[in-house]
Chains A and B, each alone.
Chain A
Amino acid sequence: MEEEKQVVTKGSQKSLEVARNAWKFIVQDYAEGHAHKKAGKPVVWSCALVEKELYHAMGLHPFYPEQFAALCAVRRKTPDSVKEAVRFARIAEQAGYSSDLCGYERVSTGFVLNGDLEDAPLGGMAPPDMLVTTSSVCDVRLKWFEDMAQRLNVPLFTLDRPERRFDGIMQYPKPHETRYYRSQLEDLLSFITEITGTKYDPDRLNECLDWGYKTNELRLEILELRKAVPSPMGCADGFATMYPGMYCSGTKKAYEFYRALRDEVRGKIKAGKGQIEKEKFRLLWYGIPTWFNMGIFNYFEPVGGVFAYEPAYNPHPWPPRNPKDPLEEIALRTMTIGSTMSTTIPALLEQCREYRIAGGVLAYLITCRAIYLPSLEIRRALEKELGIPSVLIECDLVDERTFSEGQVKTRMDAFAEQILKKHESGKSLNN
């Protein structure tokens, strides 16, 4: 971390040791990926929402363009140059990709168009043998991966998870839905076998799913621990430590990472220690963070505000392990996730109660339709249902050119004044 300092700007101050060391985990994982490729083994570029245990079971090392774009948002080539994300986004925009498109898409496309896949932070993403994406959550990842596959002339596989809608009650996936998804998982495995020669081995997959399941349980436990007052682990820690769970699920190293994290959080709670000395109010961060400016997560600390909860990368409970039919298990897991406002908004309100949230900072991501579209409804629900004020931070995920610091500061200051006024007047801040 030390030697990186001069090129990493506006990092966040993390409150946990494990979170401060998460960077090493990422560097190590990239290095393993590059070594894997050099040894002649296959590499996949994957959308972050594909079930990663499959890759580890099939001997693939995955790189994730979304995560890579976020990495580019914090790194510069030289201290004087623009952020790598801006450099790549410009390349894409020159090639006709609209600046209204998702920053992740523009950055990784620019990286591909740049031609030199090593000319990037951490040596870039190793040249892929295949691309895999999913229709989960947003449309962009379909077109984006199609486009990269065409430009790299590399085979692509798309998993389709139909966006299920829940009307009032949570519905268990119907047989035709899991059957549909399961058939695609089978086809994905044959697709991988065809390219790499590696045969599908259910025992190997079960082993990875065991690690994945245990890791997920740990992450759920940590999430539960984070409800403690004062907040032992903030959003800066949360975002810094999501990498192993999001991208390395199914490996022992991810499990060990969260075990250490869980222990540290437990210890902090036991010692009665929070993120800061005197916690006055707790905040929600809705959406993906402003990767280019993670310092924002410490912004309210001088006035006693801490970011306590972020729903973005949180784990969902998994269905029980089904070693006899691991593909069925994965299909069931995936088809249980819902992403309509009918369910996400009430769930978010419930979480705000549980985490004693006093205010919401909503990333108003103008280029990420999936996160952006519900923003105004969430803002209204927080105010109407819980009496919680919120503020919108308008920007892209990784493209700092969209971020107006002065404007954001005024908004956040006024928002803090509003919350503190409530605090002074003796109204309960922690619902």
Chain B
Amino acid sequence: MHEIFARFAENRHEAVKKWKQETGKKVFGYFCCLTPEEILYAADILPVRITGTGEPLQKADLHVPPNSCAFARSCLDAGMRGMYDYLDGVVVPNSCDIIFNMEFFWRTLVPRPTKPAMIAGVDIKPYVHYINYPEKITGREVVPYYVEVLKSFKQDLERSLNRPITDDDLARAVSAYNQDKSQMKRMYEMRKSDPAGLSGYEAWQITYSSLLMPKDKHAGILKGYLDELESNGHKAPEGVRIYLSGSAMDQVNADIYKIIEESGGQVVSDDLCVGTRSFWYPLNEELPPLEAIARRSLGTACPRSTVTDRIPENRWAHLLNTAKDFNIEGAIFYVLKCCDARLGEFPHLRDKLKTELDIPVLFLEGDYTSEGVEQMRSRVEAFIEMIEG
């Protein structure tokens, strides 16, 4: 594994702090892959994905009740403990019920580095930015609506940073993101072969680090690394080809990849926000940049979003295509307890996988602790053995 990817994936806070110190640039944290991070990049800010610790809560347990997303609670706890004190701002999209509330919790509970600038009861230089992301992503007027939302986010940012964000800046960001997306796609393509070109864990490290590094830098290193792998014919260990679906996958629970591998399986593709969803959808460079960003963000098949009008099938479409392209033999759903969107769609997707594609499904309920992941081992073993026959 490339040492830089490993460093960012396994020691995220230190790696980002070091980068910040070296470059003197600003760093913003964000929740969810729907965030229009391209706008941050255009403003010369490094967007980093906020994740939690998986440790028992120290502070957030007093504010957020237990029967809710353990990931979000842990993120907030990390914030309240000062682990994100190097952030210059935070972006919260309306990406699910609990993340929506993170806007309030983060704003009221996490110490901020800058003072608010209040005018008529409104903070004109907010530390926490809220993006009113639509929940139905295909409406007739959704693109103009969302472009307006992004415009006002851009304006807030310009005011806070005291600098303009020009169309050229945005175009530069769009192009840098596309370059990284194409390398990431290439990396996933390499996993279509049997055995896969990279292991699931390697792919996770590369994906996760892409959420913590400037995209141009990430794209450059990734290209070199993939070239090298191709030239020396690197292959991942052989195993039952697994599709991994589920909730946030960060350093706390990424051991699930290793457990699957140790049990004789290999994750070859996924439907994860730290996974395909973070890069799968390209930006159209022909369009005005804000619209391109809006369309990319709206094109993301997040389990929480809905397309509806008649019978909704976008979640199934992604699964169906992946299952065929990647020659999937089994699907593992690793869903965090109380993740409403995931839990609500699971029975339907499972039934379709079984009846239409004859792909067996294993459901694992996660609790966002590394011990919790380890407890899944025997079930994963049994599942893979079952597929081997």
Contact = CB atoms under 8 A, between A and B. Distances in A.
A/B contact in complex, CB under 8 angstroms = yes
Interface of A: 95-98, 100-102, 105, 135, 138-140, 142-144, 146-147, 149-151, 153, 155-160, 162-165, 167-169, 174, 176-177, 179-180, 183-184, 187, 191, 340-342, 364, 366-367, 369-370, 372-377
B363 A96 contact: yes
A179 B141 contact: yes
Residue from B142, B304, B348, B363 whose CB has the most chain A CB atoms within 10 Å: B348
A177 B151 CA distance: 13
B306 A158 contact: yes
B347 A101 contact: no
Q: Report the interface size class on chain B.
A: 35 or more
Question: Secondary structure of the A side of the interface?
Answer: mixed
A343 to B, nearest CB: 10
B143 to A, nearest CB: 10
B101 A341 contact: yes
A139 to B, nearest CB: 5
Contacts of B337: 100
8 contacts: A101-B344, A143-B345, A164-B132, A168-B122, A180-B141, A191-B309, A366-B65, A375-B65
B338 interface: yes
Contacts of B338: 100, 369
B19 interface: no
A159 B141 CA distance: 12
Nearest to A183: B141
Contacts of B104: 340-342
A140 B340 contact: yes
Given A147-B345, A147-B348, A157-B309, A162 B96 contact: no
B64 A143 contact: no
Given A142-B306, A156-B310, A183 B347 contact: no
B67 A367 contact: yes
Contact of B312 (A150, A164, A179): A150
B340 A101 contact: yes
Contacts of A372: 65, 67-68
Nearest to B337: A100
Contacts of A364: 65
Interface of B: 62-65, 67-68, 94, 96-98, 100-101, 103-104, 118, 120-123, 126, 130, 132-136, 139-142, 144-145, 148-149, 303-304, 306, 308-312, 337-338, 340-341, 343-348, 350, 363, 365
A158 B307 CA distance: 8
Contacts of B310: 155-156
Contacts of B304: 139, 142
A183 B139 contact: yes
Contact of A165 (B103, B136, B139, B343): B103
B101 A101 contact: no
A164 B130 CA distance: 9
Given A95-B347, A373-B98, A376-B63, 7 more contacts: A139-B340, A142-B135, A142-B304, A142-B306, A142-B341, A158-B306, A342-B104
Residue from A143, A155, A177, A340 whose CB has the most chain B CB atoms within 10 Å: A143
Nearest to B310: A155
A302 B310 CA distance: 53
A150 B340 contact: no
Given A139-B340, A146-B306, A167 B139 contact: no
The 5 closest A-B pairs by CB, nearest first: A143-B344, A168-B121, A135-B135, A160-B136, A180-B145
